[in-house]
Amino acid sequence: MNTLAASSPERSEQDVLTALQATVSASRLSLFLQCRLKFYFRYVLKLKKPKTASLHLGNAVHAVLKAWNKARWVQQPLSLKVVHETYQTAWADNTEGSVAWEPGEEEADKTTGWRLLDTYLRESHLPAAIKPDAVEVPVEADLQQHGLPRLIGILDLVQQRQIIDYKTSATTPNADKVSHTTEIQTCSYAILYRHNTGAQEAGMQLHHLVKLKNPKVVITTLPPMSPGQETRLFRQMEAYLEGLQRRDFIPSPGMHCSSCEFFNECRLWS
Amino acid sequence: MAIKLSANYSKKLGLPQYSSHSFSASVEVELNDITQVEAEVQKLYQLLQQSVDQEIQQPGFVPTANTNGNSRPAPQQKGRAQPVNGSGHPSAPPNADRWNCTDGQRGFILRIVNENPGITKQVAEELSQQLFGIGVKQLNKMQASQLIEDLLVLAGKPTPRQTRWQQQPTNAQAA
Ligand code: SF4
């Protein structure tokens, strides 16, 4: 579970597809259902694209929240100074690639990330006295008995049987919409939680750190996954399997294309 | 006229490997007066619950990961949803040699301990107690996975940073 298989560059496309059929994550499934061609470019052809600024910011914020949650778990809460140092280190981490910053953009984004963290921690959304059940834990669920692939994922934070997921966002999320748009992710996490603990989650929370001029935190609370939602997810996974089987990688043009890094490649598709 | 009162109490408990067992007990009594019903129900409820609770603590045969050939639920029709038992599975009956996590996780933990002189079984046990308040063998799969992550960090071999946040399509990005 905790070893990551290195992907060999010589793997044939069929090998890659076989591996993708054996294991699925919420992000792979969501992308496949959003645009199969984009999925193909990213996960089958593995076309490399520069890291985006928002991804860099999200990773740095996430690294700090992970350190902060781990520290409070062992009752050694981090001082603001250490939190800041952790952020500086996380920001300087370019192991996943570097961003092609415009002049002045990096400093502005770095400040934005810090202000998000400062706001989140200052508002004490997670009281120090409550211990986490898990922090950024990789988990998997064998769904073979349903004729489905192995589901994998990482839970950002579990606390009092609540599954908590962190997100940075440019806009203020709407609770109803966000519960719908994140359903694949939240239901995947619920399945992972249930398979790995033998218990049902108490509910789920999305903690959005919103990148406004005055940063704010929006917490969306969701109930436990319903049987109907589980069925929806399993059907979506079936569609994923069948699509890969048929090598169905057609483009799905729409609003989402405005942020697609494979726009140029897509225009050449026929 | 005699009044018949039937009471039934049943309880279902989860067991490891997604099994469960249940037990129910029934009793029928005759009352002379309808005013006795309330007190009698209370008495019977307590009696039946106590009796069921006492017996259900004996789980009998408990499947292990290795006996899944006979004990796992039958494969479901493809894609058919089968909700996981929401009531939560209690810990298995005490058994000093039994691990609650998977065999793979058990092997991984033991390998970390064997291959890293600084990480003894005691270190792993103490970390488990510190994080979860229980010993390594009692950890469920999620807790074992967390322990493995933390032991690898202690060993100076953290797992590579995950890349699940890469290139999210919307302006909402997992942090
Ligand atoms: S540009 Fe749009 S249609 Fe083309 S691959 Fe990207 S998301 Fe899909």
On whether residue B164 sits in a domain, the answer given is no
List, for residues A138-180, the tens digit of each pLDDT value: 999 999 999 999 999 999 999 999 999 999 999 999 988 999 9
List, for residues A210-232, the tens digit of each pLDDT value: 999 899 999 999 999 999 999 99
B43, B53, B55, B91, B138 from B95: Cα distances, Å: 35, 20, 19, 11, 10
Domain span including residue B133: 103-155
Confidence at residue B94, expressed as pLDDT on a 0 to 100 scale? 55
Query: Domain-by-domain residue ranges, chain A?
Result: 53-234
Q: What is the ipTM of this complex?
A: 0.90
Q: B69 in contact with A at a CB cutoff of 8 Å? A: no
- Please tell me the distance from the alpha carbon of residue A163 to that of residue A154, in angstroms, as a whole number: 11
On whether the CB atoms of residues A238 and A148 are closer than 8 A, the answer is yes
Q: Produce one character per residue of B91-102: b if its CB has 16 or more CB atoms within 10 Å, e if not.
A: ebeeeeeebbbb
- Please tell me the distance from the alpha carbon of residue A240 to that of residue A220, in angstroms, as a whole number: 28
List, for residues A48-80, the tens digit of each pLDDT value: 998 899 999 999 999 999 999 999 999 898 999
Spell out which residues of chain A touch residue B80, defining contact as CB-CB under 8 Å.
146, 231, 234
Number of domains in chain B: 2
Is B80 close to A234, i.e. CB distance below 8 A?
A: yes
Spell out which residues of chain A touch residue B84, defining contact as CB-CB under 8 Å.
191, 194-195, 200
Pairing mode of beta strands A134-142, A162-169: unpaired
Name the B residues in 12-51 with CB < 8 Å from any A CB. 14, 16, 18
For ligand 1, whether the C-beta of A33 sits within 6 Å is: no
Q: What phi and psi values does residue A109 have, to the nearest 5 degrees? A: -70, -35
- Please tell me the distance from the alpha carbon of residue A36 to that of residue A42, in angstroms, as a whole number: 10
On whether the CB atoms of residues B14 and A198 are closer than 8 A, the answer is yes
- Please tell me the distance from the alpha carbon of residue A150 to that of residue A140, in angstroms, as a whole number: 7
- Selecting from A1, A25, A200 the residue whose C-beta is nearest the C-beta of B164 gives A25
Is A145 close to B73, i.e. CB distance below 8 A?
A: yes
On whether residue B8 sits in a domain, the answer given is yes
Check if CATH label 3.90.320.10 holds for domain A53-234.
Answer: yes
CB pairs under 8 A between A and B: 174
Confidence at residue A251, expressed as pLDDT on a 0 to 100 scale? 97
The amino acid at A197? T
Is A147 close to B77, i.e. CB distance below 8 A?
A: yes
Give the rounded percent of residues in chain B with a pLDDT score beyond 70. Answer: 51
List, for residues B59-109, the tens digit of each pLDDT value: 665 555 444 433 333 334 333 333 333 333 444 455 667 899 999 999 999
